[in-house]
Amino acid sequence: MALFIINEKENYHYDLTVIFPEIDNSHLNQELSIAIEDHKMAYHGTTVAYHFEQLKKKQQPIIFNYEKDFKKYPNRFSEINLADGCKETYGSLLQTGDEAFGVMYFNSKQTGSLKSVDASFYQQVADLTAIALSNILTKESLLIEKQFKETLLAISESIASIQNRKELFTTIFQKIPSIIPKDNTAIVILNEDGTEWKDLSNPDRYHDGKTSNEFAKLGFDGFNKMDDVVKKSLTETGIVTLDELLEGKQFFAPFMSEAGLKEFMYTPMICQGKIIGSLFFDSEKYGTYSPKYFELFKAVAAMIAVAVSNILANEEILEREKKKTQLLEIIELIAQVKDAADLLRLIVEKIKPIFNFHDCGLFVLSPDGKTYTDLAAVIPAVSPSELNEKIAAVSENISHKNSALEWMMDNIATSGRPVLFDSADLQQKFPEYPQLNAINILETGYRDCLAFNLKARGQIIGMFCINALQKDFFTTSIFAFFQSVTESIAIAVANVLATKEILEREKEKTVQLEILETLNNKNSWDEKFAVVAEKFDAFIGCDLFSYSIRMNEG
């Protein structure tokens, strides 16, 4: 026997005798129960669909030949039925009033054992069964609806109280699958101008999804350029398959495939009338999603959008507070800087971890502005890198006029804010520039160079830059903080230069006094000038010291 309940609209049907083997504890039903794990099977194009249509037309039981019908309309249980010896079946319509909702089967292992004259009997049995089933299904439907509403309310309350990303993903992965199936998720958010996107699921990996882990390994934690799939998800609700993503050559499709994902449902996330991103639910099975989920999915996305908006706002506040604390610490440490090596050590130990740069440049102009020196390169031991070590010999007292540095500083001065340069472009534009042609920029990987001018007491005294071995590594979100840090560094540079000037003047005075003392002693002039020559050589450096004495006549 079989009792098939049919849902044409949602394209599935299931056999109650398989779900509850105690109804008919036959060998066939036991095998079917094991074979059909999810119990719900696709409906359209099946043997049951064909029988259902025939029964609705004839409005009386029909004897069907299994072998004949299974050939025309294969089913997942066809081979098992035939292997069990089923030859034919009496099919009767299950309906209450004008509403037909299933088929009742009585199977036979002998051809011709079922008789047409028994049709009325089978229909009476089916009618009585239909009444009982209708009541059961109605109660189940009401119970499911009640449970659904309670679950949705619980999800809503849970999302409303979310404070951080961990709580958000915990709710999504623990509570939402009971109303919408999913194996993975993506919460896409946009950058300020909506030209780039990133998935909040990737950086922290709270749900340890296979896709998120792969994306993280490949550097997709940050923002990505806008693509067709994400762009579509910002304006409509829909479903896309892995095959379609692969065919469209989406850059993330191969990683989705490796993670075993097959189908994706998406919808915009809208908060206070503004599109802030989109929500994706991912499945490892084809056919998981259908339009029946759309309204509920959009409702869930609206709730998640509010939570995401609040989380991002809280994170922004926390990030601002963190940056204030970091800046105050840097300012306090800068006050203790004694020399250039001290300053570079501070940059490497305290500032580098904030921006995660590869290395940096600290360019200081000479007092007359004609030359400059890159302190980071001439003291490479403090900020070691392949570039700094190779350019150390060509980084001191370089002509400033028409140099790459002058061009960069002019661009920054015009902009009034930090400027992001491409090191590869700089090398092409200034092929003779000693610091750029010392190594092959592309081979060593240098790309992003974020720079801002050093300004003290109203005058530009140099430039500070940080380098990355990746294009688009530095985002506009860090520009303001980088500017504040650079302004603090400028104060330190000015102090170092002032201290250096004071020390040089003190040294100069000391040398002057020593020379005067030497000239005033009782030694011979040859001895005196030998000492003077030593003093000059130690102070300013010279290869030849000469002097002349003019004697006053009389």
Task: Please give the model's pTM, rounded to 2 decimal places.
Answer: 0.54
Fold of 163-318: Beta-Lactamase (3.30.450)
> Do 17 and 4 meet the contact criterion of CB atoms below 8 Å apart?
no
- For residue range 93-132, what is the model confidence (pLDDT) as tens digits? 999 988 899 999 998 888 888 888 888 899 999 889 889 8
pLDDT of residue 516: 72
Three-state secondary structure readout of 464-516: EEEECCCCCCCCHHHHHHHHHHHHHHHHHHHHHHHHHHHHHHHHHHHHHHHHH
Whether residue 365 has pLDDT greater than 90: yes
CATH 3.10.290.20 fits 335-498, yes or no: no
Pseudo-torsion of CA 34, 37, 39, 43, nearest 10°?
-110
> Do 435 and 377 meet the contact criterion of CB atoms below 8 Å apart?
yes
pLDDT of residue 82: 75
Whether residue 173 has pLDDT greater than 80: no
pLDDT band per the 50, 70, 90 thresholds, residue 355: very high
Q: In the CATH scheme, what architecture does the domain 2-145 have? A: 2-Layer Sandwich (3.30)
- Per-residue pLDDT averaged across 204-209, rounded? 50
In angstroms, what is the C-alpha Rg of the chain?
40
Percentage of the chain surpassing pLDDT 90? 28
Would you tell me how many other CB atoms lie within 10 Å of the CB of residue 406?
A: 16
CA distance 183 to 239: 15
The DSSP secondary structure of 294-322, one letter per residue, reads HHHHHHHHHHHHHHHHHHHHHHHHHHHHH
Task: Pick the most confident of 9-13, 39-43, 75-79.
Answer: 9-13
Whether residue 310 has pLDDT greater than 80: yes
CA distance 37 to 21: 13
Alpha carbon separation from 2 to 28, 89, 135, 387 (Å, rounded): 10, 10, 19, 77
Whether residue 190 has pLDDT greater than 60: yes
CA distance 239 to 288: 10
> Do 367 and 462 meet the contact criterion of CB atoms below 8 Å apart?
no
pLDDT of residue 508: 66
| Residue carrying the six token digits 């090596």 | 341
Where do the structural domains in the chain lie, given as residue ranges?
2-145, 163-318, 335-498
pLDDT band per the 50, 70, 90 thresholds, residue 160: confident
pLDDT of residue 414: 96
pLDDT of residue 382: 64
